[in-house]
Amino acid sequence: MHPYLDVAVKSISEMIRFDSSRKKHKRGAPFGQGAYECLCRFLSVAEELGFETQNYDGFIGEVTFGEGEEEFAILCHLDVVPAGSGWTKDPFGGIVEGGKIWGRGAVDDKGPAVCCLYALKALKDSGFVPSKKIKLILGCNEEDGWACIDHYNQVAAMPERGFSPDADFPVIYAEKGILHVRLHFPTKRRPPFHYLEGGTSANMVCDYCEARPRALTVTKAQELGLEIEGKKLISRGKSAHGSTPEKGVNAIEPVFRFFMEKSEAVRRAYECLFEDIYGLKGLHDETGYLTLSPNIVKFRKHDLQVTCDIRYPATADVNDIHATLRKFGVHYETLHHQAPLMLGKDSELVQTLLGVYEECTGKRAQPIAIGGGTYARALKYGAAFGPEMEGDEAVIHQADEYITIERVNLLLEIYQKAIEKLTA
């Protein structure tokens, strides 16, 4: 058992109790009070452990260990997506029960951030003197914009090399490109609904959508699995990370099917986004197929707005994606874009991290590619490394997110060895 397991579990539980999902800007707290307080508390814990820290205006924080001109980054984030619905545990309770720590951020990404901090502490206690200056960087806006990274690059110097513990093991050598767009499907003066809304985050599969039809067909609603509450039509789905929409159930889809025969705008949206009539989802390479997930819908003044999460293959040209989107024949806005990450499978960084994984788990493995986007792409030479493993229950961006205490123990060991090997 790792010497810092018990205190790491307590610290993860404490960090979960901060609702650090994005809220309204406050002075000194650009992403809301919860995210700011979580960052301050994390840095306070690091100071108590004997590390130097820096809070960059509430946008992002930093814990440093070691000296030297060359620097090495461990990029984590403390913000989380909104809790969403369907929880059986308090999403911000940090409950430790049944060998698990429950709550939003347990895996994504507060748990791994805490494990990296205590891995540094264990190295410090052992007398390890790194040849590089290690920067444990803690963002507060990873989930919806990366303004924290933009701010860091303005006020500090980002290391060129490092890893981000915010993805999968054994090690990630490539990440798809990420494109968030908001499409506008104009409705006629009198659409078949007074109200239609669903979804909370662009990178989170919509698990709840509701509408108020002008005329309610009970039989059709029942056939589509929709609920009726008074004059409201309700669809309940299952949340999942936007990069893996196949692991969720999109609540928008049956609502669109209910209205598409009476609304040209809804029909067009359904054909383009769910039927994929222009073949966007057929684009693929070694990093996988393009995914398209319509995750937020709003109806505003004869305008049906749908925000989509698109993850495109690493070797694809984003201009080709835009060319296909223009075929939809509707106005759209680009809300967010991150270029893909492609690092050689045989690169020193990837092979070192792979070797640590194999040493700690006793499993032979190969580097993999993912659709998710991590802070690793903020580095010139970066890779994503854990904390999830093949066979894990999908809990990221879903209800009842948790991390097992057994996994915390393993992460402490893995990250301690990885940091030591990469900064010796």
Point out the residues that are catalytic: 79, 142
Neighbours of 242 (CB within 10 A): 28
H helices present in 229-382, as ranges: 252-259, 264-273, 318-326, 348-361
Residues 6+ apart with CB under 8 A from 126: none
Strand 208-213 and strand 303-312: the pairing is unpaired
Tokens encoding 277: 């009539």
Length of the chain: 424
Q: Are the beta carbons of 228 and 217 closer than 8 angstroms?
A: no
Tell me the torsion sign for CA atoms 391, 397, 398, 401: positive
Tokens encoding 286: 């070694």
The span from the CA of 112 to the CA of 110, in Å, is 6
Tokens encoding 231: 């004059």
* Matching residue, tokens 């650090």: 20
In this structure, what are the phi and psi dihedrals at residue 135, rounded to the nearest 5 degrees? -120, 110
Q: Are the beta carbons of 45 and 118 closer than 8 angstroms?
A: no
Residues 6+ apart with CB under 8 A from 230: none
List Cα–Cα distances, 166 to 279, 323, 400, in angstroms: 30, 31, 18
List Cα–Cα distances, 33 to 25, 40, 141, 147, in angstroms: 8, 10, 13, 16
Nearest to 156 by CA among 88, 57, 284: 57
Of all helices (H) and strands (E), which one includes residue 368?
strand 368-370
Q: Are the beta carbons of 94 and 101 closer than 8 angstroms?
A: yes
